[in-house]
Structure 1
Amino acid sequence: MNLKSFFFNNIPLFGLLVLMALVAMISPSFLTVDNLLNILRQTSVNAIIAAGMTFVILTAGIDLSVGSILAFAGAICASMIAMDMPIFAAFSATIAIGAVLGATQGSIISYFGVQPFIATLVGMTMFRGATLVYTNGRPISTGDFDVAETFYQLGGGYIAGIPVPVVMAFVVFVGCWFILNHTAIGRYVYAIGGNEQVAKLAGINVNRVKIIVYALSGALATLAGLVLTARLESAQPTAGLAYELDAIAAVVLGGTSLAGGKGRITGTLIGALIIGTLNNALNILDVSSYYQMIAKGGVILLAVMLDQRGKADR
């Protein structure tokens, strides 16, 4: 591998390092332990969603419903916690609901031939509407029970000085890495994204794999919703707005092709860190939120252009 190929194969990592170096030179407070832990905590929610999105995009699909699933799941779980339901039961039921919602969309895509963009766009609208109906447009507090204090630790607690959401995101990425690199499902995901027709001829049950992939995306979006709800100690009906865009951006920044079949889960983690670092840097520099949106779009566009240039040179 020559130097040029090495560079283009690791653009996300170099981009993250350059971004961190630039911000550190501008603001000495950026590299403090507290700020770095804050970046990791804030990144964890998007990273968990992006991990599931990576599977979807690797199959040449897209999931626009993750933000709405996050909000709906958060509302369901908050109401269960407010009723003093045991933590394990509330978690299990909520994650199961998210997986079912994702699997339903996967079934519509697989068995009815609906394009992923359309199917998940409809899901995004319907699940957001269901959230507003369920909450009546108002936040749901998790209450003052002992179980609520335990629930808060999911979003605001620490393990050996590391925020719990960061630990959870790490576990999620290790699990996803193992699935993609060491299981048959992982090989099938890459095969379907590479060429779906060839995958079918090879005997892969494409429909079943797609359902599993969208179920995983829904489950991880739900997990992210639980983390966010726990940290805020309430479920907001507007939670998760545009989170699907940040998740897709993290996957793309990490080098996964929107055409499917090519990408790494480790790249997605780096992409999520780039977005988290950029948001943190712009906040430290007191940049208006309006300009933050422009800056984020510019970074994503640059990453895609460099990726396309790298493919042309390889």
Structure 2
Amino acid sequence: MSSFPTTPEATPGAASATPDATRRTVLITGTSSGIGLAAAIAAARAGWRTIATLRDIGRAGALREAAAEAGVDIDIRQLDVIDERSVAAAVDGVIADHGRLDAVVNNAGAGHVGTLELETVADVREVMEVNFFGVLNVSKAALPHLRATGGRLITVTSVGGVVGQPFNEAYCAAKFAVEGYMESLAPVAGAVGVSVSVVEPGAVATEFVNNIGLDVEGRIAAAGPYADAMRRYVDRTVGQFLDGAQTPAGAAEAVMEALTEERPAFRIQTSRWARDFTGTKLADGDGSAVLGMTTGWVS
């Protein structure tokens, strides 16, 4: 049973003269495609006033089309998670226009493939900026308003936030950092009435991989002593995405669980595969099971 009652779906494009100060409001980042887009549609269908944000508002076409097809009204706004002024403006705008904020879904992120010897430390910092500090920027701006409503702070991480993976060192480090931060924050936020959860997808059939902008063959050719290992890793990972990737809508169901369950779990995997995969690590006291598994991916 949900502790957050919903209201009837809105008509696309409709707006009331006076904001409904009682309607539950959720802000979701990174909604141009994939899990963020699917979660925005699912939340709006469930009756939430949905604030869907994107770094580049020009990429909102797919979201608008999906909202029209679903017959729901979505409030689309610009928000760049690494720009504190952009974050503050977006959150303040939601409060000014709608009077409340009941939940935040930190979904925005960026993929990255590389390894330490072949990239700069600045490259790693950039990955951390988007995937870790961007989450903190949004969460910090939202927390006072979530305290006021007894709200929810939900962050889409990854199975890569539990299991370190070859050639994903920087990405996994950022997701590990998010998981550690949120696990540490959860009891503190809970003491002031805010629920904290992380959602851990595995392979999801989204634009996320394409958005990395990776020239696979060029990267392998430049990998020097790591070329053979990178080739094996890429072949294994591409095969996983082609053969076993979950749909964005399927992954968004876990986001909705965190959003609507009366007492959501802290850690929610989006599929049985994700549960089994992360379970390897969570039951691995000395680390040998994880390293045995991932070493097999590259040798």
Q: TM > 0.5 between the two?
A: no
Give the TM-score normalised by the residue count of structure 1: 0.27
Give the TM-score normalised by the residue count of structure 2: 0.28
Q: Which has the higher contact order (CA 8 A, sep 6+)?
A: 1
Higher share in helix:
1
Higher share in strand:
2
